[in-house]
Structure 1
Amino acid sequence: MSNQAVPVDGVIGAVVSENPSREDKTKLVANKGAQFTSYDVNAFEIPSGRDELWRFTPLRRLRGLHDGSAVATAEADIAVANTEGVTVEKVARDDARIGVAGVPADRVAAQAYSSFGEATVVTVGTEKEIAEPIAITVTGPGTDAVSYGHLQIRLEKFAKATVVIDQVGSGTYAENIEFVLDDTANLTVVVIQDWQSDAVHVGAHHARLGRDSVLRHFNVSLGGDLVRVSPTVHYDAPGGDAELLGIYFADAGQHLEQRLLVDHTAPKCKSNVLYKGALQGETGPGKVDAHTVWIGDVLIRAGAEDTSTFEFNRNLVLTDGARADSVPNLEIETGEILGAGHASATGRFDDEQLFYLRARGISEQAARRLIVRGFFHEIIDRIPVAAVRDRLDAAIETELAVTGA
């Protein structure tokens, strides 16, 4: 693959380079879509807490993923089931398809790109509609082990499929996942981070949408010690429709971070972002409180007329000491849009809801459980796989049992 230094989408400052100069890496950018990107890990400075991309992330807990000291010691297992009508391949990094959905925009994503052994490519052919969900299980490398992975989901023209990516196990794992949608393709994907409590996971999701293609992307963060997921969406042609939905539930000691970028580069495209999180933790000497981070960036470029977009993040704080950071950002470079907006809200239980339920004879504990379940169900109910909905319902009940909510 040729990674020459070139301007991206005609915006100065967005360069893809194997050997960038220091000026390239420190250049002021016109917008979030023009941030520096490269496939080469050495093109990035080692991040610090002063860097905007990393200021919320506890770098000391990344186990060296960010500074090059985390050397791969094992392989994560990527297993694909329900593959009737689907092509599954293991390919090397020099396969021409790898990297087409997006270029790493941070050092950990570049490290993962430079360090994986084999990539897994799952392809749904032209005009094929897969009736059953394609199940992909990513199992971590194991306790005290480090691994890097690469997964690509490709839908050719007029293809339609639902994919469930289940991430389980232990260890330290960094990855890139690509979603490549050709014209008029339709993909629903549910990515679940259900790691063991010792796992550290940093993932970059890259989606590239063709003309009139549809992406429904669900991300669910439940397990792990530290989980940071960064989905990015690019539009190659008019008519693209992307919906990014997510839920996360953090317990004491957990750090769950979501960083999104929806880059509207083509006209007549749509995006909708809705993430909901709950967090509960304990305060006291020597204890680490639950911490969630949600950063939502939406960029409408000058050539993206008739765009329609909205993003919303809500957080429900269940115990004292838990901390939720939420930063929605909207950049608009054209006045010719159909609509755009963003919002964020963080708070505790709604007193009116509690009063309404308790006035009808429901105990306070039961009322709190009903409110939390209802809080998440707006998103869970949209997941088209019944088994996944049931699993998430059970997971939320388990989380609530921790505090007796």
Structure 2
Amino acid sequence: MTSTTDSAPALSTDHSRAVADGAHTHGTGGTPQGSRAERITSFDPDVIGIPTGREEEWRFSPVAKLAPLFETGLSSAGVRTTVVEAPEVQVTIVGRDDERLGRAGVPGDRTAVTAWTSVEEATVVSIPAQAVASDVTSVRVEGIDMTPSASHLLVHAGALSESVVVLDHLGSANLTETVEVVVEDGAHLTLVSVQDWASDAVHASSHRIRLGRDAKVKHIVVTFGGDVVRVTPDAEFAGEGGEVEMIGLYFADAGQHQEHRLFVDHAVPNCTSRVTYKGALQGAGAHTVWVGDVLIRAEAEGTDTYELNRNLVLSDGARADSVPNLEIETGIIEGAGHASATGRFDDEQLFYLQARGIPEADARRLVVRGFFAELIQEIGVPSVEERLLESIELELSKSMSVIEGGVAPA
């Protein structure tokens, strides 16, 4: 079965830190900020004001380009959502007063709260309890025009279910989006979100994940397209024994801004989180931002967590900001760590390959493929892995054309 909805307009209602300037800090990073536990969250847009760009959570962002998404009462007409579900999966369109909405967490920034208040309808993908999906469920969000718009998706995995959901973003859009993920006790869910927008798209997406007892989530974010893309995944444990693996892969070209801000909230004992994000940048004005916040609350004894971000800068004029933050309120844990690294091509690797007769362009391709290869293999969804390899090859062909034209990236 294929379900399609054209939404109607709404009526409104550190171990280390590697950044471009070479800063290095521990704990919460170089910019003073309060505990992540004290950050304001609300369903009320009057509580979360319009940012100026001076706030900690917006200091890297191009707020002028995102400004249309700060307004309340946005339309829903700028995008079209289509779902092709696995036979075991149910898809429904519900009103904003449906009791299932809002269970995954509370909006934590301006675009998240405007997304929440603007929509009249939400798409709900439900995996029944104990069901094992026999195929991937595909959710396609297609931009129709640049009308500032909002959308809402809820993925609800019933107890002891197993499923894979792929969320695909295509076309031109100016979109703020809510993705709620509720994973009940013992369920296993893989969610892949691909941002493959046209070059003019502006996208802010708030992912809020809630894991029950012994639930397992693999959350994957892939960003290639768009003018400005800002994805903010939050994961919250609601029961002991939960496990979340957060994987990210991004490739920014000239003029693109790609931002990924994660928050993992360890609020119950004996849960595990692993975060691994890798990105590559090329071209003047290419800018990536990765911020990884992990909070281990006093009651979260037995926590095991680690986060890693690595960036590969392929040319002059590109900037990568990487800020891992780890806040620990109890010493009774299994382990906690974080790291980030940002660097250019390794000249020794290139020399080694070229000394064995491999042309420079091919050598660079091999280095970048190797940089991403291990992470791609961890995705576990063959169709997505194949698509990523093709996209990386396309991105590399852009930089290789520069080399072959006689101006090699630094």
Question: Structure 2-normalised TM-score?
Answer: 0.88
Q: Note if contact 1:59-1:66 (Cα within 8 Å) is conserved in structure 2.
A: no
CA distance in 2, matches of 1:271, 1:33: 18
Does residue 332 (structure 1) correspond to residue 328 (structure 2)? The answer is: yes
Q: Note if contact 2:78-2:174 (Cα within 8 Å) is conserved in structure 1.
A: no
Does residue 40 (structure 1) correspond to residue 36 (structure 2)? The answer is: no
Does residue 389 (structure 1) correspond to residue 385 (structure 2)? The answer is: yes
Q: Which residue of 1 aligns with 2:347?
A: 351
Q: Which residue of 2 aligns with 1:197?
A: 199
CA distance in 1, matches of 2:313, 2:320: 8
Equivalent position to 1:303, from 295, 299, 306: 299
Unaligned runs of 5+ in 2: 1-31, 404-410
Displacement after TM superposition at 1:75 (Å) = 4.3
Q: Note if contact 2:223-2:258 (Cα within 8 Å) is conserved in structure 1.
A: yes
Q: Which residue of 1 aligns with 2:367?
A: 371
Displacement after TM superposition at 1:67 (Å) = 4.5
CA distance in 2, matches of 1:67, 1:81: 32
Question: Structure 1-normalised TM-score?
Answer: 0.89
Equivalent position to 1:403, from 388, 392, 399: 399
Equivalent position to 1:59, from 58, 63, 67: 63
Equivalent position to 1:111, from 109, 114, 122: 114
Equivalent position to 2:75, from 68, 72, 75: 72
> Greater CA deviation, 34-43 or 266-275?
34-43
Distance 1:307 1:73, change over 3 A: closer
Of the two structures, which has the highest relative contact order with CA contacts closer than 8 Å and spacing of 6 or more? 2
Q: Note if contact 1:141-1:147 (Cα within 8 Å) is conserved in structure 2.
A: no
Give the % identical residues. 52
Unaligned runs of 5+ in 1: 1-27, 283-288
1:132-143 matches, within 5 Å, as 132-142=135-145
Q: Which residue of 1 aligns with 2:101?
A: 98
Q: Which residue of 1 aligns with 2:126?
A: 123
CA distance in 2, matches of 1:165, 1:276: 20
1:251-330 matches, within 5 Å, as 251-282=253-284, 289-330=285-326
The code of the aligned residue for 2:49 comes to E
The code of the aligned residue for 1:370 comes to L
> Greater CA deviation, 42-51 or 293-302?
42-51
The runs of 4+ residues in structure 1 deviating greater than 4 Å are: none
Aligned CA RMSD, in angstroms, stands at: 1.5
The code of the aligned residue for 1:51 comes to E
CA distance in 2, matches of 1:82, 1:37: 32
SS in structure 1 of the partner of residue 352 of structure 2: helix
Q: Deviations over 1:141-174 (max 9, x none)?
A: 32x3221000000111100001111111112000
Q: Note if contact 1:47-1:67 (Cα within 8 Å) is conserved in structure 2.
A: no
Displacement after TM superposition at 1:96 (Å) = 0.5
1:201-216 matches, within 5 Å, as 201-216=203-218
